[in-house]
Structure 1
Amino acid sequence: MGINHIFRFSLIGSIALVCATIAARSTIAAERNEATVTQIINDVQLRPTGAAAKAAVLNDNVPDGTAVQTGMDSRTELTFSDQTLARLSANTVFSFNKGTRNLDLAEGAMLLQVPKGAGGAKITTAAVTAAITGTTVIVEYHPHAYIKFMSLEGTARLYLKRRWGESVLIRPGQMLITNPDAKGGLPDPVDVDLERLLKTSLLIIDFPPLGSQNLIAKESEKQQRAKSKRTLIDTNLVIFGKGTLVSLTNPVQPNAAAPAAVASAESRSAAIPSSTDLGTIQTPPNPQSTPNRLPAGSYAADNPR
C-alpha cells in the first residue's frame, strides 16, 4: 500500500475520531442541560419557550429554558444527569439554564439537593441569588412579599442583587427570611428545627428518601445535642407552612410577640395562593424584633395540611 493511501486512511480515521468526540461531548452537554420528570403529584405543566403548554408525564425530558409550573396542591420532582434533585411545591414556576448551573425560581417554593462532588449551582430570584455546592436547601419566594431560604445540610451563600458585595452565609439547620423590596441589608440567619421539618415537610415526606437524608439526620442530631446542653432552646412561637406569620402554639409566655417585619410581610402575602410545604418555625421567648429581621432562636417547619 502506498504512502498516500496510508496517509489518506489515517486522515479519514482522525477526522472520524474528532467528529465522534465532538458528537459525544455535544450529547453529554445536552444531557447536562436537561432534566427528567421523576415524580408527579396532581397538576404539573411544562411550558416550552415559544410553544404551547402541556401536562407533564413521568420520564418527560425537560430541556433548557422550559418552565415547569405546578398547580394547587401539586408537587413534582426533576432529576438532572448529575443526580441533582429539584422538588417543586404547589403554585410554583421554575426554569433553568445550563442544567443545574443556573436555576430560576420565578415564584413559589422548591427543595434543591446538589450531591457532593456534583459541582456548584446557582438559584436566582428577582431579588437575591444563592450559590450552593453539595447542599440541600429549601427556598420560597414571592415577589414584593418575602424570601425564605433554609439549609438542611451543607452551606449556601445568599447575595442581594441590588447591593454589590452584600451576602450572608447560611449554615446547616439555619434559615433566613427577608423582604425582597427592603432597602437595608440581609438579616442574620436563625436556627431551624430539622427533626420537625423532616417529619412534616411535604417536599420530603411525599417523595422517596433524599440522597442526603443521612447528612440531614446528622445535622439534626447535632441540634439535639445542642438542646441537651441548652445552647439551643425550643420555644412556642411557630410559623405554620406558607408565609411568615409567627403564631403562639402554647400561650405560656405573654411577653412573646411576632416580629413586626415578619407580620408585615405576611400581611402583604396573605393573598398568595401558595404553600411552601414546609412546616414550623420557632423563635426564642421575648424576641427582640428589628426591621426586616427575625430574632435568633430555634425554628421548625410544619405543614398544616
Structure 2
Amino acid sequence: MFYKSFPLFVISLWGVIVLLPNKVSAITPLTRAEIQNLRNIVQLIPKDRQNKRPAHKSDAMTPGDGLSTGRASLADLRFNDGSLARVGEQAIFQFLPKTRSFRLSNGTALLLIPPGRGQTRIQTPSAAAAIRGSALFVRYDKQTDTTIVGALTNSGIEVSNKEASQTQMLQAGQMMVIVKGEFKGLYDFDLRNFYETSDMVRGLDLTRQNLTPTADPANR
C-alpha cells in the first residue's frame, strides 16, 4: 500500500458512497426510509425488482427496496433512526432487511449516521466500510471495479476489501482506493475544499447531532 495526497478534482468527478463490514450487531435496525428530496431522474426499485417507477418526494421505502438515479440526479433518504443517505448521479442503492446494511452497485453515496445507533455497513461488489456515528462517502465504478471510501469525520471508520483480508481505519480527510478487491492507496484530501465544491454535501450540516428520525409510513 502507498500513502499520498489525492487530487481534489478526482473526488469531485467521482462523487461519494459508503461501505461497512458485518462484525458487530446492530443496535437500531433500519426498518424504513422516506425520500426527503430528489432532483431530476430518480427511480424507485421495489424489493421484488418488479414495477420500477419514478420516485416522488415523501415516498416510503422498506427494507429490500432500492433506487436508481440518472445523470445530474440526486436523492436524499431519511431513515427511521435519523440516518441520512444522499445518493448521487447514476447510482444504484439499496438497504437490506433486518440490518444496518446498504448495498451500492454503482455510482456515489454519502452517509450521515447519528451516534449511538450501532455499527452501519455499506458494501460495493469489491469492498466494505463500517462506521459508527460518522459521515463518509463512497464511490463505486462498475466498469473498472473501483471503490473509493472517504472519511469526513474521526469516528472509527474502517474499510475492508471484499475478502476482508485487508483492513484500514480512516481519519477525517483520508480515503482508500480499492481496485478489483485490492487496496491500491491511502490518500489525503482537502476537507475544506471538498465541503466548498462537492454537490454531495451542499445544504448538509455534517456537524449536526440531532438528526430527526422519520415517522413510520404505516402510521400515517
Q: TM-score, normalised by structure 1?
A: 0.55
Report the CA distance shift for 1:38/1:117 in structure 2 as closer, same or farther (over 3 A): same
After TM superposition, the structure 1 = structure 2 runs for residues 198-277 of structure 1, keeping only pairs within 5 Å, are 198-205=195-202, 208-210=203-205, 212-213=206-207
Confirm or deny that 1:190 pairs with 2:187.
yes
Alpha-carbon deviation of 1:188? Answer: 4.7
Distance 2:100 2:141 in 1: 22
Asked which structure has the greater CA Rg, the reply is 1
Q: Describe the SS at the equivalent of 1:68.
A: strand
Structure with the bigger percentage of strand: 2
Please name the residue that 2:22 is paired with.
Answer: none
Is 1:170 aligned to 2:164, yes or no? no
State whether residues 74 and 89 of structure 2, in contact with CA within 8 Å, keep that contact through their aligned partners in structure 1: yes
Gaps of 5+ in 1: 1-28, 216-305
If each structure's helix is expressed as a fraction of its own residues, which one has the higher value? 1
Q: How many residues end up aligned between the 2 structures?
A: 179
Q: What is the letter of the counterpart of residue 91 of structure 1?
A: Q
Amino acid of the structure 2 residue aligned with 1:161: K
AA of the residue aligned to 1:166: Q
Q: Normalising by the residue count of structure 2, what TM-score does the alignment of the two structures yield?
A: 0.75
8 Å CA contact 2:124–2:147 kept in 1: the answer is: no
Q: Identity, % of aligned pairs?
A: 26
1:44 to 2:45 alignment: no
- C-alpha change, 1:197 and 1:168, in structure 2 (3 Å) is same
- Specify the alignment match of 2:133 in structure 1: 134
Task: Specify which of 20, 24, 32 is matched with residue 30 of structure 2.
Answer: 32
Quote how far apart the aligned CAs of 1:117 are. 1.3
Q: Secondary structure at the match of 2:90?
A: coil
Partner of 1:161: 162
SS of equivalent to 1:209:
coil
CA distance in 1, matches of 2:58, 2:98: 17
Q: Give the distance between the partners of 2:124 and 2:99, measured in 1 at CA.
A: 15
Structure 2: gaps of 5 or more residues: 1-27, 210-220
Aligned to 2:56: 57
Q: 1:80 to 1:99 in 2, by over 3 A?
A: farther
Structure 2 Cα separation of the partners of residues 148 and 56 of structure 1: 27
Q: Tell me the distance in 1 between the aligned counterparts of 2:185 and 2:171.
A: 11
Q: Give the CA deviation at 1:144.
A: 4.8
What is the distance in 2 between the residues matched to 1:151 and 1:100? Answer: 22
- Contact 1:144–1:179 under 8 Å retained in 2: no
Kindly indicate whether structure 1 or structure 2 has the higher relative contact order, using CA contacts under 8 Å at least 6 residues apart: 2
